[in-house]
Structure 1
């Protein structure tokens, strides 16, 4: 077939129009991450979250919660799309800066396309109406208890509860609004922002509102819903302490609950004033296999306090471990997940120091035993500051002995090297200068060098990144077990 010149011109114009449309269409939505070595799909580039406002309506443990997530942020770069981490829920609608946005799920990302592209450095307001499914798959997020729900989002599961920028490098303020049936008690991070009141949309329901006073990583969010007693007492400097326990266990658990103020005073003597607006323990009727330092309200399994087989000194030291995390991990948060040793190494250090003070398990004995196993731990889990990723489907596999006692051993070696006085100055300075922010291993090495008055890079590098454990200063007689062996079980405390 042969075209006349007029028909040829029309065809060429049509082809040019199609080419122009193709040129301006953005590429298809894709899942993004910020490139964390251990969790490359977590986090999203291009914006900084300033605050989350989370609303949940709870009916029971088998019905997805109706939820609204409102995010206040600021763009760091120009954005044609906004990626959020979100999975295990159904999205009904999304808005960006007050206008409806196209939304699409890609992998474990929720990708929003606003009507107009967003320039750099402008406010970003996102509202997502969705469900939050408590019917867990064993990979974190909501934890089903005998009487309700709690949260365990570490390390990569907050986005299984609500849309977010699910990486500790992006901390934000949080507000929680939870509506639950009357007779149910709800407690969340922070302090009550409003008195509990009858829900506007449900005749037999109550709405509870809590707000954090300090920024928080998504993995530290906590909401407890259940038949709970809230026990109030006062800590150092008049700090409000509130514990959340199964109502039926209120009296039985009181001997443990009353220990917190003294434990807090003990830690303040060593690292400085407690960094948040409140604290307490959340004791859940659930079996998780770990305890967790959710900010201002640490999660514990009921069994650790009620089952035989746990010595009193051990339980107390685990309580101190999670309390120490409020400084190390919660207030000072790791910039990347490879910096996890800064959390767990410090919490284990103060756990061990506390047990030493009780006269039950000396710090030097524990460190000597850790030194003997350190090479095996490194072979199985990587060095403290470069841990191996968890195996697929093994959520807490990252939390190996090398990030607990293996990392506390690094702190012991540092104290041996620079002396107790310099080490204690470092600890206080670390949590003071980095309060409410994020920090990494390089920051710690730099500050340690400043306190020591000499560059410690050459000393700390093999302790942090070496395949084998260096010689322990002051203990030339210590030796390790060099033969490869099976890794010990993952640490119980998180």
Structure 2
């Protein structure tokens, strides 16, 4: 954004603010506080469907809130006189709906919006919010991740609302465009591919990226820092770009060199990579997790610097999420095992087959021993207990190892040929869409030619670990 454009935007924002800020009494409460997700019931709004986000951020240095503009294209699922967006950790300056100022207020992590005119059912909904985006919150809450030289994003599970106003539930996927301005000398990378070249403005350099496929808000990624971008070519000419600290260009080159081969390995398992690009993003901070942000997976620098026998299977774990979780996205957070179970399954297999570590059977048996305790502590894989506080509240062993065990048991039950056919059918049928545990059971039954509900239900929903097919001698450790 040029300086003159910024002045025009500021004048528009002032006019909108004067028209829009009203008392709480003048704003009706939405009739439903959230989409009704069992684990995160307060996020989302079922009354509209977002089709596209266009996000603009102006980064001016460490610790300072970013000036931001969020543009949303959506369609009303019902006639609307009001709606809400999930948003916290920022100041809202103005809201416009369909070109007219709208009334608004922030309450309980939601931006409540009352348009000037009723939006008919099925009608377009064009929203523009001028706001700040504050990276200064607690690090374990998610959203912006602060690094020594900039920022990155870690929005899982429902932390995108700490960065920009949105419908922060994975069932509402949309395409994204990012415009990020940073001082000269910084490199900006985001989901998708660049649109044009970075161009200088009065405020620095503006970078634009756009996704070619819909994406859940939890998978958004923006990296701002003194970074090097290592480029390679993957299968079928896929552009691969890995983002590392400029000082790590040589040190992390060996890790980046693994990526094209890992993509090829995954394609041999489940078919063509589902997106327009891929790469790894190294962040010099301690998050306590790695994250499958779409087309650009986030890794702690210390993990990538670890020996390949440790780092490479984790890289495949996040890569496999591009199929399982990113392309095929759970319709509800209770279906998280569909993501993490599959990522664990391919991590196990890669560790056994490529890294020559413990066999698949050994890894599954170790997980089996712990499964009774995991179910007692956190619930069965497809019915996890409600999360505690903190960003990692639902990311527990019951959906990782427990989900991997479900797939191991299914593989044992239906055989390798049917299982591989199921995996390919799953990522093909639900590509770019949302799916549920019930969808997987139904598809597995069709592919195998038998009703698998009776077999899978105890594995997915039971309080006790079922016997493992083919391994009657396997035992679980006592629940704590």
TM-score after normalising by structure 2: 0.93
Quote the residue 1:65 is aligned against: 66
Quote the residue 1:246 is aligned against: 245
- Alignment counterpart, residue 437 of structure 1, candidates 433, 438, 444: 433
Contact map agreement 1:171 1:216 (CA 8 A) in 2: yes
Quote the residue 2:22 is aligned against: none
Partner SS state of residue 258, structure 1: helix
Given the alignment of the two structures, is residue 289 of structure 1 paired with residue 288 of structure 2, yes or no?
Answer: yes
- Alignment counterpart, residue 462 of structure 1, candidates 447, 455, 458: 458
Given the alignment of the two structures, is residue 125 of structure 1 paired with residue 116 of structure 2, yes or no?
Answer: no
Q: Tell me the CA shift for residue 30 of structure 1.
A: 7.1
- In 2, the alpha carbon distance for the partners of 1:98 and 1:325 equals 38
- In 2, the alpha carbon distance for the partners of 1:311 and 1:443 equals 38
- Alignment counterpart, residue 189 of structure 1, candidates 191, 204, 212: 191
- In 1, the alpha carbon distance for the partners of 2:347 and 2:255 equals 16
- In 2, the alpha carbon distance for the partners of 1:118 and 1:312 equals 55
- In 1, the alpha carbon distance for the partners of 2:450 and 2:214 equals 34
Quote the residue 1:339 is aligned against: 335
Partner SS state of residue 39, structure 1: coil
Which aligned pairs between 1:235-384 and structure 2 lie closer than 5 A?
235-306=234-305, 310-357=306-353, 358-384=355-381
- In 1, the alpha carbon distance for the partners of 2:362 and 2:288 equals 26
Quote the residue 1:484 is aligned against: 479
Q: Tell me the CA shift for residue 29 of structure 1.
A: 5.3
Contact map agreement 2:181 2:206 (CA 8 A) in 1: yes
Quote the residue 1:15 is aligned against: none
Contact map agreement 2:317 2:347 (CA 8 A) in 1: yes
Contact map agreement 2:422 2:444 (CA 8 A) in 1: yes
Deviation digits for residues 332-390 of structure 1 (CA, Å, limit 9, x no counterpart): 00000000000000000000000110221111001111111101000011000011122
Contact map agreement 2:72 2:128 (CA 8 A) in 1: yes
Quote the residue 1:93 is aligned against: 94
Contact map agreement 2:27 2:114 (CA 8 A) in 1: no
Contact map agreement 2:219 2:293 (CA 8 A) in 1: yes
- In 2, the alpha carbon distance for the partners of 1:337 and 1:397 equals 11
Q: Tell me the CA shift for residue 397 of structure 1.
A: 2.6
Quote the residue 2:11 is aligned against: none
Deviation digits for residues 42-76 of structure 1 (CA, Å, limit 9, x no counterpart): 11121000000000000012110000000001000
- In 1, the alpha carbon distance for the partners of 2:346 and 2:401 equals 11
Partner SS state of residue 376, structure 2: helix
- In 2, the alpha carbon distance for the partners of 1:180 and 1:193 equals 16
Partner SS state of residue 179, structure 1: strand
Quote the residue 1:403 is aligned against: 399
- In 2, the alpha carbon distance for the partners of 1:28 and 1:126 equals 19
Contact map agreement 1:31 1:106 (CA 8 A) in 2: no
Quote the residue 2:15 is aligned against: none
Runs of at least 5 residues in structure 1 that lack an aligned partner in the other structure: 1-24, 486-494
How many residue pairs align between the two structures?
A: 453
Contact map agreement 1:336 1:440 (CA 8 A) in 2: yes
- In 2, the alpha carbon distance for the partners of 1:73 and 1:56 equals 21
Structure 1 or 2, whichever has the larger Rg, is: 1
Deviation digits for residues 279-314 of structure 1 (CA, Å, limit 9, x no counterpart): 0000011110100000000000001122xxx44212
- In 2, the alpha carbon distance for the partners of 1:85 and 1:238 equals 38
Contact map agreement 1:232 1:240 (CA 8 A) in 2: yes
The alignment's C-alpha RMSD in Å is 1.1
- In 1, the alpha carbon distance for the partners of 2:319 and 2:227 equals 21
Contact map agreement 2:27 2:104 (CA 8 A) in 1: no
Q: Tell me the CA shift for residue 405 of structure 1.
A: 1.1
Runs of at least 5 residues in structure 2 that lack an aligned partner in the other structure: 1-25
Quote the residue 1:488 is aligned against: none
Q: 1:61/1:266 Cα in 2 relative to 1: closer, same or farther (>3 Å)?
A: same
Partner SS state of residue 459, structure 2: helix
Contact map agreement 1:30 1:106 (CA 8 A) in 2: no
Contact map agreement 1:68 1:128 (CA 8 A) in 2: yes
Partner SS state of residue 316, structure 2: helix
Which aligned pairs between 1:45-194 and structure 2 lie closer than 5 A?
45-138=46-139, 139-194=141-196
